[in-house]
């Protein structure tokens, strides 16, 4: 017989008390801005590398904050590179939908929003006892979709720099 476990809506889980909330938010903001800056680089590949590096350093710092082992970051590096590449493809989509939005600014916004979402996901994962070894890419995809459904991520987030900054608050 299987037992059904009670679940909480994602926003309830996000708002639950966290002794490291202020420090983790600061870490996420720092690397989100670094990733957004990398997104301004007009050379494909260099921008992806910069954004991936920002995410990797952010995840490592969050893991250390939550006393999670960072002995093997290989899987994390692969996820960051893959995610940054997909985010770059998202930038191209945003630019094609919104002509005149400027690919560099759109690149910065997409890289920043994606990195902030990655940071929030890993913060919750580590806070709830997760490790780097048990990160599930499907859980991240569900988290991202829930962010979009709640309206935390929308087209204005990608086209309005103040939206990115308010997303970090």
Number of structural domains the chain divides into: 1
Structural domain contains residue 10? no
Q: Which of 51-60, 65-74, 122-131, 158-167 has the lowest mean pLDDT?
A: 158-167
Structural domain contains residue 160? yes
Structural domain contains residue 124? yes
Structural domain contains residue 129? yes
Structural domain contains residue 104? yes
- CA distances to 79, 101, 114, 150, 159 from 141, in Å: 12, 26, 11, 14, 22
Would you state the pLDDT for residue 89? 86
pTM exceeding the 0.85 threshold for the entire prediction: no
Structural domain contains residue 12? no
Yes or no: say if 111 and 31 are a contact pair by the CB < 8 Å rule: no
Structural domain boundaries enclosing 124: 20-167
Structural domain contains residue 1? no
Structural domain contains residue 6? no
Q: What is the dihedral of CA 107, 14, 80, 94, to 10 degrees?
A: -20
* Residue 138 CB coordination number (10 Å): 7
Q: Tell which residue, 92, 89, 152, has the closest CA to residue 116.
A: 152
Q: Kindly give the residue spans of alpha helices, DSSP state H, lying in the chain.
A: 10-15, 21-39, 46-65, 74-97, 103-127, 137-150, 155-159, 161-167
């Amino acid at each position: 017989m299987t037992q059904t476990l009670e679940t909480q809506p994602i926003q309830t889980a996000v708002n639950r008390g966290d002794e490291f909330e202020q420090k983790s938010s600061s870490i996420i903001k720092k690397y989100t801005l670094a990733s957004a800056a990398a997104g301004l680089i007009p050379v494909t590949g260099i921008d992806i590398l910069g954004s991936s590096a920002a995410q990797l350093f952010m995840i490592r710092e969050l893991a250390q904050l939550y006393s999670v082992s960072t002995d093997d970051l290989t899987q994390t590096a692969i996820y960051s590179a893959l995610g940054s590449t997909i985010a770059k493809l998202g930038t191209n989509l945003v630019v094609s939908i919104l002509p005149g939005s400027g690919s560099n600014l759109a690149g910065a916004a997409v890289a920043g929003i994606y990195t902030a979402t990655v940071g929030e996901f890993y913060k919750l994962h580590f806070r709830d006892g997760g490790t780097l070894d048990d990160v599930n890419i499907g859980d991240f995809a569900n988290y991202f979709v829930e962010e979009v459904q709640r309206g935390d991520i929308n087209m204005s987030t990608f086209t309005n720099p103040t939206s990115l900054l308010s997303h970090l608050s």
